Amino acid sequence: MARRTGKIVSILTLWRSLSFCGITRKKISNYNLEQLIFINKTAKDECSISRAYGYFTINTRAMKSIVFIRGKRYIILIALTLDGIIVAEIIEGSCNKENFQAFIINQILQMNPFPGKNSVIIMDNIVIHHDEVLVELIKETDGKVVYLPPYLPDFNPIETAFSTLKVWFKRYRDFVGICDDIEYLILYALS
């Protein structure tokens, strides 16, 4: 301040002046909660409903012997906002860059321009999310893309939704085992 104004002012005087003007020091937030769309994926196959715990006598290891058949694998792509799950898409098989790109283009690109509601997409820091074409499409709609730090999926609140979904599948594993329409079950569990 001395270089700009030629006056020497103590930090305490500067602090009092700012306080008098009603200016306080606050942590800066880049985005409002209403602006955020969290996107992630999870998988469902026969492995996701198998039991992890059992009852056995003391000093005996709890073991099970089964014939493991993976069966069909389903990928569940979800977009979550402050209002809850806004979009869920189920893909049979595994997810690749093309499937993920189609999900974003068909379901998410109807977002509002920044700084409006649902204008910031937050994704994990994995390879299929780092598609330059996809990022350009989002930026053309005046949206923003934010990547979570590597190896920290707990920063994404959608992980709680996935945990609840997997608990539901394990709780109703008998019903899941006899149902033919797995996509209906997934959508029912998400509702």
Read off the pLDDT of residues 71-112 as tens digits, 9 standing for 90 and up: 677 888 888 888 888 888 888 888 788 888 888 888 877 777
- Checking if the pLDDT of 50 tops 70, the result is no
CA distance 62 to 52: 10
- Residue 68 confidence (pLDDT): 60
CA distance 108 to 138: 9
Domains of the chain are 33-190 (3.30.420.10)
For the entire predicted model, the pTM comes to 0.69
Name the percent of the chain lying above pLDDT 70. 88
Average the pLDDT over 13-37 and give the result: 80
Average pLDDT across the chain, whole number: 79
Contact by Cβ (8 Å): 71, 42: no
Q: 33 pLDDT band (50/70/90 cuts)?
A: confident
Average the pLDDT over 11-29 and give the result: 80
Average the pLDDT over 157-167 and give the result: 83
The 3 state secondary structure assigned to 93-162 is: CCCCHHHHHHHHHHHHCCCCCCCCCCCEEEECCCHHHCCHHHHHHHHHCCCEEEECCCCCHHHCCHHHHH
Contact by Cβ (8 Å): 130, 136: no
